[in-house]
Structure 1
């Protein structure tokens, strides 16, 4: 047995023979081999890779208690494929061989299958990647472990068309397929819906940056998913699927690591998890916990603080699984994470200087001296806190006529930021004697979501899915701007004055009825129709207190938005497992209100309208060379109407507007190849082109020609090589790199802020036994200093050039154990 440890996740596995011989309850109705294997994986809580090797035909069923080996033997007794058990939680399906391998032969080490054919459920029904008519990707548990993908930002280079901004931990927003509403985070709902299992975890908040500890897989669905997921899925879905409790066996794991950054502080991390059966075959619990410190690497010479941008992150999860009987199962999950960043991770350079070159000059205040590339000269610390809490319960039942899944979740999200607002003094109070401005904003969001899904068993020509959705979100967002006037001859000490305060509260109620129907036309053709009937009510109140010459005021407004979001797809699956498809989907976001600012908001800007995106897509998926080569590609045309975007006034106070319409054309490709000698390669890429049309004259800006925040070209490459060193030791080498092209950062054509094109790279070497694993790694091995995100502070953005360098070259060691 080989323990699949290392990277950011540590898989705790029991012995191969013990896990394969454990007897589990199965209830798999008659269906094609590939679909039956998918059901087996779900019911046994294992990954089944390569189901396309069985083709699209055949018929198999299974019921009763069986070991995994017995279940596979029965299902595949007459199938044109065979299986091999990679480890206690992974089975690989292969084309039939002329001669059966001896049972006593130890499986040769094999690198994790990249762009692997894991089962995904992000489309509300379990299916293999190759069978879904959409741009869907998954990163398996093995790939997460091999690449040390510790959080969302470290997975994006492995997924076509998925990017993230780089404002800092707990501050970033996800972008998919170049569908960007801008780089800033404000009142607009996120374009990408992030899920933790079945719970949506973001509304208009930045990504909470959850650490990927004890995670089974990450699923991404690209393109608008309004029919199944509603508002907030305008660009796609990013779903984190946690590992579930094992009802049969107790497993334990722990790992820790140290890292050293050139010119910065050291970093450390520790994480562990355990799965414990409470009543065997009935009730089990799974625990995960972690603590991490990312050492800072930027010096603030004005505040005389070295390595000012340190971040601490800690959290954990508790999961409970109860098998009520052979047909009903209950899963409960509680998760929390606390993130503290001492400061932002940008520097400010003089306009026109070469970013991060040896002669870079800092230009925060008149009279400042020239600084070094790793230095900044702020007057206050720009700290950020991001606390996340989630609890949910999911009930799943297999009935004679179909399946029922009911999910109830609660999310409590609190985040706050502080900024140096000194540069807004002249705009807001030109006659003030104040020397320093400080802006503090905080958001406290509470969200309750109920989602009930009923679907057919999937055994006939007609398959259907019906869902009922309801959500209630209450968000409180106080903000405050204060000025400090330093001591003078006429004043003994500094004077602190609060000049602007806003206490805002948003109440959002959502309800929807959705569904889809798929009909097998014959000869491999399947047509699907679906849609979502929705209603959203938004109620906003705010109290704004401003010192003269501005007026204190109150704001109270409400509005209801409703509509229908359709979905149409046509696909053909060939006998060899190849798939072609055409797809039309829509995404939408409700409108809302602007309340903040020193002046009362004008009528034209009091509200921002809903936006809607329609996606036209064609794609193909196929495997060749005995399943070792996998290719997935999609071309799309998107029509985005009334684009919502968050922007900033000269005072630094945010507002939301509709910038206009856009059309987006793109091509995305994912390819992987598994060599027979232990090497796996993956490549992905996106080419995207956007054009703004029909600009909104009320937006009051010279609008750029394309969408900001995303490059025209991006891509990634991953290589994993594994070979045995002895009977008990294996060697794994991993290399990963990603490229992100240049991108403008604002819709405002007068603010020519642009990121560099840059490369990210990571290398690691690992030696593993059955229970222990030692990893050495290096990130940014060439110590590249390109500008990854040209933004950090809304109060000085557009006035001076803001630059976000990569973390300098970092070496690290990691030791893990599993029992």
Structure 2
């Protein structure tokens, strides 16, 4: 009520300002701080408007666009904010804090008559690096937003995002060692030194280069944005398929707050699980500095039995971690953010089962556990001058992964292959941006990156393993990039951009066998890449846009160990042209995209003739894809949503090492991405007398058929399964209890992964879904 009264008072007082306030003008304001919005609005409507304090200037306002008078503009801008406008002279106004609410709010009983849903809030694509609204962004994007402007955000990890999006796929080797794929751009199930096809970011900090998805838990994360790729101009190497960007909640500087959650779960055919999390936000200097700390942990009970060793539920995974964020406002319009994150994943054994054995069982001679330790530190400085925004971000990431594979031959001595990979990634980027306003927008930036990987390997009888050929490699990259948008007409926006990168690659073998010591086991070289982009957006009407986009992406080459030799692999490049439609109405929104991608010199993590993981260029390919996303809000509180993905991909020209019978080559789809996938969800929220709130939802996903790899040995089917999840929560006053059912129908399936590459030929494998799991949880905030 207080917010409504503030907005009404603002509108009433502005009505007295006369013709200056009554005249309609074209208003074009990006989302951002209240201070910047007021400055821009003052220029566009011809009134003088000030703000009471610097603390109020940092309040966040939505984007505002259209023909309106000052009354309408200020009412829309201030609605929902704890402020009001007061007159201070002829044509002059001042934004001040609204008086505090003195009477308790009464919650009326909920009417049984369905009400029309409120209009959706504008969606801002922060991953555009210019905070463009969706109406100005030419591309396919999905926003998962905890504040209700997108799809409901899960509070767990990457696997939960994958279940909500048909275009996003992942391998399932276990938390901390998976690979993500977007829009059908997938190379293989195996992990090697090749760079990821999806760029992952926590805020503005890059999380991986040629390392797997760290699978950071998404506790206290406000939004996740998934941009379909390639995104070469904005994000450079390693964004062939797109970008996944998680944005943590920032510290609040004016109040102490916190939250806790805990839950326990039981899994059919397996061990119980448990999880917990906590958040504390402490203002250090009121309106000037604050600290936000998050901690979490959990145990995922195992559900796969090892019959050879006589052990049950061997694949238990334990995860612990936390984040800390310090925000300081050193001066007006300047913000300094310092952050850190740590997470450790410890898996007692691998996640696969034998395909031809009884369900959820396998026979392994040794344990195949793994661990993944992740550490991050970052610093971000941002400032504004009128409509220009400056951002400087620097991050350091350390990732350490240990894993063991069963390499025992049939009826042979227990044999193991172990691998330790240590990754150091240092990246920094500086950019200036101007959001699209008054007919044009601009982005200019530069970045530096250093990535080094040290991989050590051991192989042999489990108790007497000896060193095998490993690899040390380094990548140094320097980049300049830019993008400019122009509103050629009232409804047409054209954007052109480019990125120039110089990459220096170097490395060599480690523990090279003596018989190969006379061969060259090291190499270095430099390469330059230019990635252009061009797009056009047509606003056919309010709430309807068409766009077409051309974009390129690449991954630099590198070194890999293959058949005991250190060998080079070349860079690969994709170019995509796509066309899309977005339609938004008060209660309905829809987005559809069709794309064609050419992929040259495909890099893929493979398995060599001895079963060891390696990397090579496998040939050229092409991908045709179509995706459709829709949401419908038929009545207040009810949201129905769904997405669909159709993909057709081929390795059109395999290189000589991978040429096989034409009949097989003609069916050689790229691995790990199904030809068809569909996802649907329903969610309902309601409030009742006494402040009680109820929420429930259901979501289902069908994953079509794919294949394990590109060689005949790995021509094993995957996918072709459906899973359904249910959840509900009831709470009051910031406290609630919840019930969640995962995999309602207890489907086994076969997800996209591989357990050990050494026994694939003798014992086919599957990676089953977690059996039906029921979780009861409690959460509270203060």
* Same topology, TM > 0.5: yes
CA contact (8 A) 2:304 2:313 kept: yes
Are 2:710 and 1:774 equivalent residues in the alignment?
Answer: no
Q: CA deviation at 1:73?
A: 12
Which residue of the other structure, out of 572, 594, 611, is the alignment partner of 2:560? 594
Which residue of the other structure, out of 43, 46, 51, is the alignment partner of 1:64? 51
In the other structure, the counterpart of 1:566 is: 532
Q: 1:235 to 1:790 in 2, by over 3 A?
A: closer
Q: Report the Cα distance in structure 2 between the residues aligned to 1:269 and 1:114, rounded to whole angstroms.
A: 36
In the other structure, the counterpart of 1:355 is: none
**Which 10-residue stretch deviates more, 320-329 or 744-753?**
744-753
Are 2:430 and 1:452 equivalent residues in the alignment?
Answer: yes
Q: Report the Cα distance in structure 2 between the residues aligned to 1:609 and 1:39, rounded to whole angstroms.
A: 43
Q: Report the Cα distance in structure 2 between the residues aligned to 1:407 and 1:684, rounded to whole angstroms.
A: 34
Q: CA deviation at 1:649?
A: 1.4
Q: CA deviation at 1:456?
A: 2.7
CA contact (8 A) 1:642 1:661 kept: yes
Q: CA deviation at 1:766?
A: 0.9
CA contact (8 A) 1:532 1:564 kept: yes
**Which 10-residue stretch deviates more, 722-731 or 111-120?**
111-120
Q: Report the Cα distance in structure 1 between the residues aligned to 2:467 and 2:718, rounded to whole angstroms.
A: 32
Q: CA deviation at 1:308?
A: 0.5
Q: 1:711 to 1:175 in 2, by over 3 A?
A: same
SS of 1:287 mapped into structure 2: strand
CA contact (8 A) 1:500 1:547 kept: no
**Per-residue deviation, residues 156-192 of structure 1 (Å, max 9, x unmatched):** 2322411111122212111101111122221110000
Higher relative contact order (CA 8 A, sep 6+): 1
Q: CA deviation at 1:249?
A: 1.4
Are 2:669 and 1:664 equivalent residues in the alignment?
Answer: no
Which residue of the other structure, out of 171, 175, 179, is the alignment partner of 2:185? 179
Q: 1:116 to 1:715 in 2, by over 3 A?
A: farther
Are 2:118 and 1:131 equivalent residues in the alignment?
Answer: no
SS of 1:291 mapped into structure 2: strand
Which residue of the other structure, out of 383, 394, 408, is the alignment partner of 2:369? 383
Aligned ranges 1:251-650 → 2 under 5 Å: 251-350=257-356, 362=357, 372-400=358-386, 402-423=388-409, 435-456=413-434, 458-484=436-462, 496-546=463-513, 555-598=521-564, 600=565, 606-624=567-585, 627-650=586-609
Q: CA deviation at 1:251?
A: 0.9
SS of 1:614 mapped into structure 2: strand
Are 2:71 and 1:77 equivalent residues in the alignment?
Answer: yes
SS of 2:128 mapped into structure 1: coil
**Which 10-residue stretch deviates more, 388-397 or 297-306?**
297-306
Q: CA deviation at 1:209?
A: 0.9
CA contact (8 A) 1:713 1:740 kept: yes
SS of 2:215 mapped into structure 1: coil
CA contact (8 A) 1:118 1:140 kept: no
Are 2:209 and 1:216 equivalent residues in the alignment?
Answer: no
**Per-residue deviation, residues 231-283 of structure 1 (Å, max 9, x unmatched):** 00011000111000011111110010000011211100110101111111110
- Structure 1 gaps of 5+ residues are 2-14, 22-30, 45-53, 90-102, 351-361, 363-371, 427-433, 485-495
Q: 1:116 to 1:171 in 2, by over 3 A?
A: farther
**Which 10-residue stretch deviates more, 380-389 or 58-67?**
58-67
CA contact (8 A) 2:471 2:508 kept: yes
**Which 10-residue stretch deviates more, 674-683 or 510-519?**
674-683
CA contact (8 A) 1:115 1:672 kept: no
CA contact (8 A) 2:503 2:528 kept: yes
Q: 1:512 to 1:296 in 2, by over 3 A?
A: same
Q: 1:681 to 1:32 in 2, by over 3 A?
A: farther
Q: CA deviation at 1:698?
A: 3.4
CA contact (8 A) 1:115 1:682 kept: no
Q: Report the Cα distance in structure 2 between the residues aligned to 1:804 and 1:478, rounded to whole angstroms.
A: 26
Q: CA deviation at 1:473?
A: 1.0
Q: Report the Cα distance in structure 2 between the residues aligned to 1:375 and 1:275, rounded to whole angstroms.
A: 45
Aligned ranges 1:13-92 → 2 under 5 Å: 36=29, 38-40=31-33, 63-65=50-52, 77-79=71-73, 82=76
Q: 1:559 to 1:59 in 2, by over 3 A?
A: farther
Q: Report the Cα distance in structure 2 between the residues aligned to 1:73 and 1:743, rounded to whole angstroms.
A: 42
SS of 1:422 mapped into structure 2: coil
Q: CA deviation at 1:466?
A: 0.6
In the other structure, the counterpart of 1:720 is: 683
**Per-residue deviation, residues 367-405 of structure 1 (Å, max 9, x unmatched):** xxxxx3122211111111011101111110102462211
CA contact (8 A) 1:779 1:811 kept: yes
CA contact (8 A) 1:455 1:464 kept: yes
Aligned ranges 1:200-215 → 2 under 5 Å: 200-215=206-221
Q: 1:788 to 1:70 in 2, by over 3 A?
A: closer
Q: CA deviation at 1:680?
A: 0.5
Q: CA deviation at 1:545?
A: 4.0
Which residue of the other structure, out of 697, 700, 709, is the alignment partner of 2:656? 697
Q: CA deviation at 1:518?
A: 1.0
Q: 1:694 to 1:115 in 2, by over 3 A?
A: farther
In the other structure, the counterpart of 1:5 is: none
Q: Report the Cα distance in structure 1 between the residues aligned to 2:170 and 2:119, rounded to whole angstroms.
A: 21
CA contact (8 A) 1:129 1:137 kept: no
Q: Report the Cα distance in structure 1 between the residues aligned to 2:7 and 2:457, rounded to whole angstroms.
A: 57
**Per-residue deviation, residues 19-76 of structure 1 (Å, max 9, x unmatched):** 999xxxxxxxxx99885361248989xxxxxxxxx9xx99999652476999979987
In the other structure, the counterpart of 2:237 is: 231
In the other structure, the counterpart of 2:670 is: 707
Q: 1:115 to 1:775 in 2, by over 3 A?
A: farther
Q: CA deviation at 1:228?
A: 1.1
Q: CA deviation at 1:794?
A: 1.1
Q: Report the Cα distance in structure 1 between the residues aligned to 2:234 and 2:61, rounded to whole angstroms.
A: 33
**Cα RMSD for the two superposed structures:** 3.4
SS of 1:664 mapped into structure 2: strand
Q: Report the Cα distance in structure 2 between the residues aligned to 1:131 and 1:577, rounded to whole angstroms.
A: 11
Q: CA deviation at 1:197?
A: 0.7
Q: CA deviation at 1:705?
A: 2.3
Q: 1:404 to 1:61 in 2, by over 3 A?
A: farther
CA contact (8 A) 1:708 1:745 kept: yes
CA contact (8 A) 2:145 2:152 kept: no
Q: Report the Cα distance in structure 1 between the residues aligned to 2:372 and 2:49, rounded to whole angstroms.
A: 47
Q: CA deviation at 1:692?
A: 1.9
In the other structure, the counterpart of 2:640 is: 681
Q: Report the Cα distance in structure 2 between the residues aligned to 1:33 and 1:341, rounded to whole angstroms.
A: 58
Q: CA deviation at 1:499?
A: 4.4
**Per-residue deviation, residues 130-151 of structure 1 (Å, max 9, x unmatched):** 4311011110024699664410
Q: Report the Cα distance in structure 1 between the residues aligned to 2:120 and 2:579, rounded to whole angstroms.
A: 19
Q: 1:770 to 1:285 in 2, by over 3 A?
A: same
Q: Report the Cα distance in structure 1 between the residues aligned to 2:449 and 2:668, rounded to whole angstroms.
A: 37
Q: CA deviation at 1:725?
A: 3.6
CA contact (8 A) 1:185 1:204 kept: no
